[in-house]
Structure 1
Amino acid sequence: MTGPGEPAEPAGRTGAAPRITVIGLGYLGATHAAAMAELGFEVLGLDVVPEKMRKLEQGSAPMFEPGLEELLRAHVAGVEGSTGRLRFTDSWEELGAFGDVHFLCVNTPQKHGEYAADMSYVDAAVASLAPHLDRPALVVGKSTVPVGSAARIAERLAELAPAGRDAELAWNPEFLRESFAVQDTLHPDRIVVGVAGPRGEELLREVYAQPIAEGSPFLVTDYPTAELVKVSANSFLATKISFINAMAEVCEAADGDVMKLAEAIGYDDRIGRKFLRAGIGFGGGCLPKDIRAFMARAGELGASEALTFLREVDSINMRRRAQMVELTRDAVGGTLLGKRVAVLGATFKPDSDDVRDSPALNVAGQLHLQGAQVTVYDPKGMANARALFPTLGYADTALDAVRGADVVLHLTEWKEFKELDPAVLGEVATTRHLLDGRNTLDPQLWRKAGWTFRALGRPTA
């Protein structure tokens, strides 16, 4: 296989590097397409949203993801100085003719009014691609799907593709962390492939030859196991987050310190320190919908009792948001009506512009609905936040958001917020009262500047 900076050989003859297509160009797909070009492959991407395609064709990322835009500009055809290895199309026919390996990276959101995953986007992509597969090809699912989906999709592919059984399916779940997606794609901590035969494994070993050579473990499984890996991992992480948040509730009742508690138990290498920071809980486009879809699928399989604990995990997580609303109400004297609340953070995590199921934005919205005048500031998520909650107030800086506030809420742990000067903010706030929903600010620093400081699960003094 060719390495970064070297063009892949054109397909069409024995020994040629496989040509790759990526279907769905959101967080996962855009990153995967750019990374495949970085690894030396010729890549063709497709998405059904024209605005997204236009941005990508200019070498611009349709979302904020550190390092992604630089990677796109290095490889998108037509961008000055690029390798030209990455192109885009809206033609399924061109996609089928071009590709040897087709990566499915479309969304599987939660169904409206249900816990189950919406598979309509995956099914539509397969139905659009398959009729154009008239020669041997490998279709690789990366989307997070209910276990059992791959076997069904494999049969559908064979039925619809002119190539029949030569249009094979593999399942290769993604493990990207938003804000680390480029690193996680180029240097994955593991590569899992669910395959039905040796050809799929051989092709994917070729696609991932460089990460494998660098030491990334390559695990070969059947379809169901590969489908279960992502939801199992996310369920474990969600459980760990909700565990420490449950301990925060106990600490508040017992006047303990959840940060010291987490530090103490984190030294146990069976437990570890990661994901033990108490706060307002998890959100984003993966963990909440994945654990709910997992519960729904377990019920369909007759194994619902195995995952009943995830209902409590979800309940604890949502309760943290309600707790922050109640702490805010207490901080302003028992009623939110007419009170000015500054919210620092709108995205579900720092170094991202993603506001999907964001705890920060959810809390801001609840406060607004209960009569507070809410002003939000976020370093990268303002446009997405405005689109989702247009009735909230928005400020261009943290200082402007805090101006005139009766209480300040720290709800997304951006580095910028850790570097704020409490004395400067105190000069513009009406009341120096801060609630730290992420347990990343220094209580002593803020209290020294005259702020009443409260953090979830920690002593008030």
Structure 2
Amino acid sequence: MTLQISVIGTNYLGATHAAGMAEFGHDVIGVDIDPDRVKTLNSGQSHIFEVGLEPLLAKHTATGRLRFTTDYAEIADWADVHFLALGTPSGPGGAADLSQLHSAIDSLAPLLTKPCLVVGKSTVPVGTALALEARLREKAPIGDGVEVAWNPEFLREAYAVEDTLRPDRLVFGTHSKEALATLEEIYEIPITDRTPVVRCDIATAELIKVAANSFLATKISFINAMAQMCQAAGGDVTLLADAIGFDKRIGREFLNAGLGFGGGCLPKDIAALAVRADELGVGVLSEFIHAVEAINDGQRLELAELAIDQAGGDVTGKRIAVLGAAFKPGTDDTRNSPALTVADHLHARGADVRIYDPQARLAPREGFTQVASVEQALLGAEVVLHLTEWPEFRQLNPEKLGELVKSKIIIDGRLKLHAPSWRNAGWKLVQIGRASTI
């Protein structure tokens, strides 16, 4: 059955979710306060780089099944279901800033005159959903005719469309059979395709997302701590990860040593969980998360200091080439990018930093020069840093690039380069946690 669905907020999550709902056969209106973004989306174009998103937008805006607006009045009595897909960035002290959610509720609620379901997609502290429901019922003419459910997103940037259309699980946090039935109707296609469904209370649904992100962050920080141990002891962290990854209780995914995690989700979500844990008196969880964060932050500093050491202990006035600015390949997102943190540290120590990334575009900033090619980045460089694992970097020709640099030193911060090829071309290739192969 075709439902009429609104999606409030149209950035990474909202734009992808709106297009996915249209692909599932529903009529969809996306709402955003940014008129330029709305204009771009209505033209079938994407304002972000996300694999597969633009063709999906073009397909459904062309048929009229999907459109975008800045006017809440267009969706209030039109939609059966309103999805909240708004950002919850870090606020003071790491707590989640819920101002976008509150603003959306305050704009929507006074216009609601028929029963409807409001479904949260955003990552929020546990307890948020029920507070939003109370706020909606207080401000909406329909009062208790508004119900809130929570359906957290599990999108990976660069795979957001795939994760929307073919999710690895669906979580439905509800407190009524009617809301549950509506969610099952919305997601009929993936449910028919045997996607696992977790049906639970709302508090559990809110916690599932932050628990997943915290566990992933923990795996990444653990293997990076082991990388430092391997570095000190003369071991190989990649072989170590392969070996423990064969254990089905552990698994190999997210055991890739390197620069650690970044982006717009994991860092702010685990910080918010730590704050909420403290508020609820669960100090052991807060302490655990802070340890994970400390390892992640330390890994970036470790790599920057390694670059300084390889440059002779002083990078003042020396050119450093940085390959990668996005926090991961397949996206242009530079939020909390480990690569940029390293570049910032090197600039603060006096380096002339040149950065190349295939997709990310940096705003002008002191100390960085963004260039248009790998060759421009490497020209005259004394140290090269591989910091975002774009596939094209693994295909570089070390022989040709060696003619451009001042010193053939490359630090593989993602442990993805083919070490023998670089070493055979006369390069000194350094990888944290692989001391035995340096």
In the superposition, the TM-score normalised over structure 1's length comes to 0.93
Q: Is 1:60 aligned with 2:37?
A: no
- Shift in Å, 1:390: 5.5
Question: Which AA in structure 2 matches 1:377?
Answer: Y
Per-residue Cα deviation, 1:285-305 (whole angstroms, up to 9, x for no partner)? 011111110000011111122
The 3-state SS of whatever aligns with 2:63 is coil
Q: For 1:390 and 1:147, how far apart are their aligned partners in 2?
A: 40
- Shift in Å, 1:51: 2.1
Cα pair 2:217 2:261 within 8 Å, conserved:
yes
Match of 1:157 among 129, 136, 161: 136
- Shift in Å, 1:306: 2.9
The 3-state SS of whatever aligns with 2:118 is strand
Cα pair 1:46 1:90 within 8 Å, conserved:
yes
Per-residue Cα deviation, 1:210-229 (whole angstroms, up to 9, x for no partner)? 00000111211111100000
Match of 1:250 among 226, 229, 254: 229
Moved more, 389-398 or 446-455: 389-398
Match of 1:450 among 401, 426, 434: 426
Match of 1:90 among 70, 81, 96: 70
Q: Is 1:285 aligned with 2:261?
A: no
Give the aligned length: 437
Question: Which AA in structure 2 matches 1:422?
Answer: P
Partner of 2:370: 394
Partner of 2:5: 20
Q: For 1:302 and 1:260, how far apart are their aligned partners in 2?
A: 40
Q: For 1:372 and 1:143, how far apart are their aligned partners in 2?
A: 39
- Shift in Å, 1:161: 1.1
- Shift in Å, 1:370: 1.5
Partner of 1:332: 311
Partner of 2:404: 428
- Shift in Å, 1:18: 1.9
Cα pair 1:191 1:219 within 8 Å, conserved:
yes
Per-residue Cα deviation, 1:337-381 (whole angstroms, up to 9, x for no partner)? 001000000000000000000001111122112110000000001
The 3-state SS of whatever aligns with 1:292 is helix
**Which structure 2 residues correspond to residues 47-446 of structure 1 after superposition, within 5 A?**
47-76=32-61, 82-111=62-91, 113-381=92-360, 383=361, 385-386=362-363, 389=365, 391-446=367-422
In the superposition, the TM-score normalised over structure 2's length comes to 0.98
Q: For 1:276 and 1:386, how far apart are their aligned partners in 2?
A: 32
Cα pair 1:386 1:392 within 8 Å, conserved:
no
Q: CA RMSD in A?
A: 1.0
The 3-state SS of whatever aligns with 2:148 is strand
Question: Which AA in structure 2 matches 1:39?
Answer: F
Cα pair 1:89 1:95 within 8 Å, conserved:
no
The 3-state SS of whatever aligns with 1:270 is coil
Q: Is 1:36 aligned with 2:37?
A: no
Per-residue Cα deviation, 1:155-201 (whole angstroms, up to 9, x for no partner)? 11111111111111100000000001001001111110111211111
Question: Which AA in structure 1 matches 2:94?
Answer: Y
Q: For 2:68 and 2:339, how far apart are their aligned partners in 1?
A: 35
Partner of 1:9: none
Return 5+ residue gaps in structure 2 as ranges.
none
Question: Which AA in structure 1 matches 2:65?
Answer: R
4+ runs of 1 displaced by more than 6 Å? none
Q: For 1:361 and 1:404, how far apart are their aligned partners in 2?
A: 20
Q: How high is the sequence identity, in percent, across the aligned residues? A: 52
Cα pair 2:398 2:422 within 8 Å, conserved:
yes
